[in-house]
Amino acid sequence: MAVALSAGALFGLSIAAMNQTVEQVRLEFVLSSLQQGFVVSGLVAGALLGCLACGALTDRLGRRQMLTMAGVLGTAAAALCAVSPDQYVLFAGRILLGFAVGVASTVGPVLLAELAAAGWRGALITTYQLALTAGVLLAFTVGVTVHPGHNWRLMFLVNAVPAVALAVTTLLIPSSPEDLMAHGEPNRARAVLAATRAPMEARAEWAALRSNCARPSKSALRGLFDPVLRLPVAIALGAGLMNALVGIGAVAYYSTLVFDAAGVGGGSGAELATLSVAAVNLVASVVAVGLISRYGRRPLLTIGLAGITASMATAGGALMAAGRPVTGPLTIVAMLVFITCFAFSAGPLAWVLIAEVLPSEVRVRVAGSALAGNWGANLLVALLFPVIVHTPAIAYRVGLTFQVFAALSLTFLWLVLRFVPETKDRTLAELESVLASRGRRQSPPTG
């Protein structure tokens, strides 16, 4: 649990650190819109590199060791950002911090899934999302309450707190059974399974682990050409894209700019509106832990994605008709609905699905590719959003962009209903068998 909290908080603080400080950084370093986009997206670029690199590194070093390294690197990077004398050092620090976040966001949910029993897996990974939202709220609170003009350096320094916690707490948990098997320690692997599962589930996982340990690790690309692996690999890659492309990046990185465009009470009103979104996100994420423990993945994704689509379309329409008295209030309400739906669906369940559906032979490598796709999509949003909508943002352009997010959300809803099976309360071994069987049935005959 402590690992989930610290990894999620590092993720949340890092992605939100620029939201309310971006204008201060722009003014201090005299940045153009494109330079502003580069500074904001430096974290995302680093996270993308971390996701791409962590597959091979994790195979060699192990999941627990990689998380410890991410904590140490995140601590150093946060300090570098806080003392940056110019935009170039800040950009370098953001890339290093992003690398640590990319490793933590890839390896953290996988390690949690491998150590958790089937009945606790969803709630434990959702705790990671809960800590992420708490980190976002903390960043926004610091941005509102600390004296303007100085808080951006403090904001980055605060990132060191969860990074240190991640490095320390990871040392207190056992290595995953998969790592122990890969490094020739089957007795310790079996002992970890026995300590973390009921006897029947432990036996099933042990049998699957012994069967898989002889198979070579595969990349996402090779997995897509394997009939047995194609469906789980496609679901994992799609889940990573779903998490980013429903529009959360625009809200997490630029909600203050969006509310400014909607005419929400000037700069202070926009900051308070952003803070309210973060607060609702935290409350909804607390509720989501119970929902995901009680209800299946498919119904929650169905309801959540439908709400995300409707709220993005509503906010987009309001902003495209900016200047009317209802534009500001309607945009705030739509964003609150969006973040509530995201908190129990595309937010946590993307990580849950990635951790649950992948067989052990491809779990870290494909999870890394899925998170790389997620961060790649986030990179495009972070880099291009201020360019597309201009700075200060033009309401009509923001609204049109939100309509694109609504269309993408509707597409993901269809894909979930068409391809994603229910994974709740199934062991990892059972899910591997079910998905492999479906993959064989859907593959064309050969010969």
Average of per-residue pLDDT values in the chain: 82
Residue with tokens 């739509």: 334
Give the per-residue pLDDT at 243. Answer: 93
- For 397-434, how does the pLDDT look when each residue is reduced to its tens digit (9 = 90+)? 999 999 999 999 999 999 999 999 898 888 777 887 87
d(CA 163, CA 68): 9
Banded model confidence at residue 221, pLDDT cuts 50, 70, 90: low
- For 174-219, how does the pLDDT look when each residue is reduced to its tens digit (9 = 90+)? 888 888 887 888 888 888 888 878 888 888 778 777 776 655 555 5
Instruction: Give the range among 51-55, 146-150, 187-191, 226-230 with minimum mean pLDDT.
Output: 146-150
- For 303-345, how does the pLDDT look when each residue is reduced to its tens digit (9 = 90+)? 999 999 999 999 999 999 887 888 888 999 999 999 999 989 9
Residue 121 CB partners (closer than 8 Å, separation 6+): 112, 113, 352, 355, 356
Give domain limits for the chain.
Answer: 2-173+215-441
Give the per-residue pLDDT at 447. Answer: 40
Look up the pTM and report it. 0.73
Q: Which CATH number fits the domain 2-173+215-441, given the four candidates 3.30.1360.30, 1.20.1250.20, 1.10.287.3510, 1.10.10.10?
A: 1.20.1250.20
Give the per-residue pLDDT at 446. Answer: 44
- For 354-382, how does the pLDDT look when each residue is reduced to its tens digit (9 = 90+)? 888 888 777 778 888 888 888 788 778 87
Instruction: Give the range among 276-280, 294-298, 402-406, 435-439 with minimum mean pLDDT.
Output: 435-439
